[in-house]
Chains A and B, each alone.
Chain A
Amino acid sequence: MHDKNRAKELSLIANRLRISILEMITKAKSGHPGGSLSTIDLITALWFQEMRGVESPQKLSEDRDRFVLSKGHAVPALYAVLAEKGFISHDELGSLRMTGSRLQGHPDRVRLPIVEASTGSLGQGLSVAQGIAMGLKADGKKSLVYCMVGDGEIQEGQIWEAAMSAPKFKLSNLCLILDNNGGQIDGPVSEVMPIEPILDKWTAFGWHVIEIDGHDMSQILRAYAQVRTLHAEGGTKPVFILAQTIKGKGVSFMERKIEWHGSAPKIDETARAIQELELLIASVGI
């Protein structure tokens, strides 16, 4: 459905946003590069292709699709997207985590309403997204609600409350995306607290499940298109997308390294990372 060129364009945007994420976190001297880089392809595809009603700040409507970043520590990825789309200025990205900034270390819907939900205590965003989906459904709106969680995050009990609850209310307008990058602060998810078998669990709880490579833009776009089709055709289940991702994706020395979960790169490290990403961008071309 989506041509290959569009997928390529979106990958290019995502890689440019990777640079933005690294610059932001480096300047702030703290933040979470690993999980921001693993999720950026998925978020880019949502905001630059799939979501309706968020084309630009001027067009923001009550009928817009909503995005809830439940894994709030990956918010640099969202800020990078918002700057690229003009919801915030590129200059403002430099204020991340600074006193008085709207760009808090974790999403804050009061200071920056476009983030839709204040998150950062893991496990809460899915419930909020469920509530938004219920409200929109009650009002007969067609909008979809997307929620992004981390893999370690689904160790939280509240996630399973929502996992049980959303199917009861037949919320086909709710799509949960799991950024399955395999790592959390204390080590590999499989060692800290195993979450497998993931697909079996969400299937058993009554969700429509889809598995994709979370860095393959064509697969991402196809999955999102399927979510919209299922909803439009009168689906009765919320959708769960298991996105297989790589922590630190796009920067060779960060990939799959737990230590990059929550530490900022130094200036020279960032310079190396940006060089890699620029080479990648140049080699892909359009």
Chain B
Amino acid sequence: MSKATRQAFGESLARLGETHPEIVVLDADLAKSTKSEIFAKKFPERFYEMGIQEANMIGVAAGLSFTGKLPFLCSFGCFLTGRYDTIRLSVAYSQANVRLIGTHAGIGIGDDGHSQMGLEDISLMRALPTMGVFQPMDARETELIMDYLVKDWKGPAYLRLTRQALTDYYPAGAAFKPGKIMELRKANAGKKRVMCIASGGTVGEAMQAAELLEAQGVSLSVWNAHSLKPFDDAGTIAAAQGAELVVAVEDHSVIGGLGSCVAEALAQTSQHPRLLKLGVQDTFGESGDPAELYEKHGISAKQIAARTLAALSVGK
């Protein structure tokens, strides 16, 4: 099964709206794309169409939270980070209990090109004190994070979602451990050990890359990071122990995203494996077929496998 995480988000929001009357939803003329329209149809009196005014929407959401509401404000990730100053002061510094929903993450959106792609959102949001930054790998994990963001999280949080459908990888029945990385695939003993960590749209690619590498005598352990902030430093350091190489794979700039989180964690230890950061390499996004773009920018299963092998051979 596969589903876009934005779709799973819209359905979760409508489900949670039933038991949480404090939830209100705002969108800036993208409700059909962010899937907030599912909530809007069910609870029209708690949905605010804010027009193409992202900055005002962010400030209004902060104000609503000060009256006890739990606002979810939705747009493409890149359009939210474009109003960074408003997020910085009216939401983060104000400790507004607001959920910022940034859809259309990364080059995975394909055709529309750079201007619609959230490629720096994790980096920018992570820099704001107290801001939580989350990214689900599939529909099930989206539901679990949504439950967590409604029932447990206090203060501002950013949720990063994909336009494209993502294959289900969340292990059936697995307990949700907020802020912790999760092992989806174990490395086989006796083979070269590589730890691969991914988040959101690249988790499936990493899982497939593991199959490709197995035939080459390299065994990948694959980890999922749903929380970029707080980031599981201790879990990452432990998971990397004994590995020859750590590979971080993200559909985001390699500056300030998952790869940076991993680097910051590993650098705290005196001895750690080398790190290969796969992602958008300090360049702009572009139009194209999503699968072709993943290939071109080195985050497809095939490219992850090839670049892992290349890094291992260089390390010899």
**Does B59 lie within 8 Å of A127, measured CB to CB?**
yes
CA distance A110 to B48 in the complex (A): 26
Is A3 positioned at the interface, with any CB of B under 8 Å from its CB? no
* Interface residue ranges of B8-58 to A (CB < 8 Å): 24, 45-46, 48, 50-51, 53, 55-56, 58
Closest partner residue, chain A, to B51 (CB atom): A165
| Interface residue tally on B, bucketed by range | 20 to 34
CA distance A273 to B60 in the complex (A): 40
Residues on the A chain within 8 Å of B90, using CB: 117-118, 124, 127-128
Given contacts A118-B89, A118-B93, A128 and B66 within 8 Å (CB-CB):
yes
Closest partner residue, chain A, to B69 (CB atom): A135
Give min CB distance, B2 to chain A, whole Å. 37
Which of B48, B71, B86 makes the CB contact (< 8 A) with A127? B86
Which of B55, B64, B89 makes the CB contact (< 8 A) with A134? B64
**Does B94 lie within 8 Å of A118, measured CB to CB?**
yes
Give min CB distance, B198 to chain A, whole Å. 35
Contact segment of A156-164, A219-227, A239-247: A156-164
CA distance A133 to B61 in the complex (A): 11
Closest partner residue, chain B, to A119 (CB atom): B89
Is A116 positioned at the interface, with any CB of B under 8 Å from its CB? yes
Given contacts A110-B93, A136-B67, A164-B53, A131 and B86 within 8 Å (CB-CB):
no
Closest partner residue, chain A, to B90 (CB atom): A124
Is A2 positioned at the interface, with any CB of B under 8 Å from its CB? no
Is B85 positioned at the interface, with any CB of A under 8 Å from its CB? yes
Residues on the A chain within 8 Å of B69, using CB: 135, 138
Is A149 positioned at the interface, with any CB of B under 8 Å from its CB? no
Given contacts A124-B90, A131-B66, A135-B68, A110 and B95 within 8 Å (CB-CB):
yes
Residues on the A chain within 8 Å of B61, using CB: 131
**Does B51 lie within 8 Å of A129, measured CB to CB?**
no
Q: Is the interface of A mostly helix, strand, loop or mixed?
A: helix
Give min CB distance, A247 to chain B, whole Å. 25
**Does B55 lie within 8 Å of A109, measured CB to CB?**
no
- Binary flags per residue of A230-249, CB closer than 8 Å to B gives 1, else 0: 00000000000000000000
Residues on the A chain within 8 Å of B59, using CB: 124-128, 130-131, 158, 162
Q: Which residues of A contact B (CB under 8 A)?
A: 108-110, 116-121, 124-136, 138-139, 157-158, 161-162, 164-165, 168-169
Per CB-CB distance, the 6 closest pairs between chain A and chain B, nearest first, are A131-B63, A127-B59, A135-B67, A161-B56, A131-B60, A161-B53
| Pairs across A and B, CB under 8 Å, 24 listed | A109-B66, A118-B93, A118-B94, A119-B89, A120-B89, A124-B59, A127-B63, A131-B62, A131-B65, A132-B63, A134-B48, A134-B60, A135-B64, A135-B66, A135-B68, A158-B55, A158-B59, A158-B86, A162-B59, A162-B60, A164-B51, A164-B53, A165-B51, A168-B51
Contacts A109-B66, A127-B63, A165-B53 known; 18 new A-B pairs at CB < 8 A:
A109-B95, A110-B94, A117-B62, A117-B63, A118-B94, A119-B89, A124-B59, A124-B89, A124-B90, A128-B60, A130-B63, A131-B71, A133-B63, A135-B66, A136-B67, A161-B55, A161-B56, A165-B50
